[in-house]
Structure 1
């Protein structure tokens, strides 16, 4: 898995590693017992091994052990899921991004910023959409779709969430590492699902503010709904389906 690049990603990584360790241990035990049984109870000298049926203690054991394993995995999954999805109403995020997922691109609205108000950025035929985030600061994401179900996924953050028409999904996280990362749609959403990509830049607060000011200088103010680029593909030049407009 990618090295965690957000505060929530460490929970996902630890859960993933723990599940693999548990799976390896159970697999080693099962294969060990199978090999032992094949060797210890193989047929010898034309004799038939004793046939055992209705062994209640063993039946209870092989019913109870899987139940305990599932219960332990369930406990740790719920624990980490609650930590990943936790929203602290007493500590609201410094930055909020309204994400619009539409066939087949993304629109990012940076809302209610003290210096520039609300500005937006979307994909064009020449360029994939880019999401800028400030390192070390909590960011809230509101996810909406005007058409079909998508899934907002940044692999470096080890997190994804569905983008559902008529429903606003929300999560928070804090990027912990500066750099450039990839993002994508993780839900099959139509013919060009594989083209529904975006780039993530995690930068300093100074660079983040400068980017928002640049969007305002381009006239990309207010909130964009993404409707005008529905059923288009960003980053593929001026070919079929391309558009440079984003509906507001």
Structure 2
């Protein structure tokens, strides 16, 4: 009976999809919008299946125990034992197996999501600082390969423009504290660490406007570290970059140069030298 319930649940979950319109069939995730979403979806779906199997098994054992050892008219007390070696072995081995399986699939999906693209169509340097985002578009034909940037403030969040179905490499930098670059529809986030460049590649797969966030508690105005992601056609993308150049947003955004070193390190070294 329990195996039948698990089988029915797994069959129902296997019909779910990360691009379905209904929240329930996406298991509460947003509609996927990148080529890296499938790997994360596989882990998410597997976690639901494992949770369902464990729930059915444990709940079934609880109900069986209630019925099997319920109080009877003769008040006979079930046999009392100090330990049950097979059950205790099961309690030890089963969690180890579950964790090992989760670990394997997590590492496999992580490697798939972090796989690099040969010669990506676009390169964007992301600068996360207290408390704003800036996006530097590198070597774009629309601006004669002159870098231009989008930048925001806590009061006026930045905009990030991407081309649908064209690969992009994100290089993540921070001049101050740890932030985290997260777009929920991409099913992906990566830390932005001072003094270190983290990088990942992806391809947006559907047009639309999404909200990106900082997923790392970074200080007083952490909640304001949001940005808008516009996945558009190539013509709209080129037009936006041309407008940035005309507006004077040329070169590097604020904090770009400082993002290659740890904040305060130079001052500490100078103080020690004096």
Q: Residues 46 and 124 (structure 1 numbering): CA distance in 2 closer, same or farther, change over 3 Å?
A: closer
Structure with greater proportional helix content? 2
3-state secondary structure, aligned to 1:198: strand
Report 1:115-154 matches (<5 A).
115-116=142-143, 117-124=146-153, 127-154=156-183
Say whether 1:36 aligns with 2:64.
yes
Counterpart of 1:96 in structure 2 is 123
State the Cα deviation string for residues 184-229 of structure 1 (Å, max 9, x = none): 11111111111111100000111111111111111111122337xx
What pairs with 1:1-248 in structure 2 (closer than 5 Å)?
Answer: 1-44=29-72, 45-88=74-117, 91-116=118-143, 117-124=146-153, 127-226=156-255
Tell me the CA shift for residue 52 of structure 1.
2.8
SS in 2 for 1:136: coil
Query: Aligned equivalents of 2:228 and 2:83: distance in 1?
Result: 60
Q: Deviations over 1:92-131 (max 9, x none)?
A: 2110110000111101100122341210110157632000
Residue 196 and residue 161 in structure 1: after superposition, are their counterparts in 2 closer, same or farther (change >3 A)?
A: same
Report the aligned-residue RMSD: 1.7
The offset of 1:78, in angstroms, is 1.1
- Matched length: 226
Call closer, same or farther: CA 1:63–1:124 in 2, change over 3 Å: closer
After TM superposition, the score normalised by the length of structure 2 is: 0.78
In structure 1, distance between residues paired with 2:242 and 2:66: 71
Cα deviation digits, residues 7-41 of structure 1 (max 9, x gap): 00121122112201210111111011011112202
Once the two structures are overlaid, the 10-residue window that deviates more, 34-43 or 21-30, is 34-43
Task: Please tell me whether the aligned partners of residues 132 and 208 of structure 1 are also in contact (alpha carbons under 8 angstroms).
Answer: yes
5+ residue gaps, structure 1: 228-248
Contact kept, 8 Å, 2:133 with 2:153, in 1: the verdict is: no
Using structure 1 for the length normalisation, give the TM-score.
Answer: 0.86
Name the CA distance, whole Å, in 2 between partners of 1:19 and 1:131.
32
Determine which structure has greater relative contact order: mean sequence separation of CA pairs < 8 Å that are 6+ residues apart, divided by chain length: 1
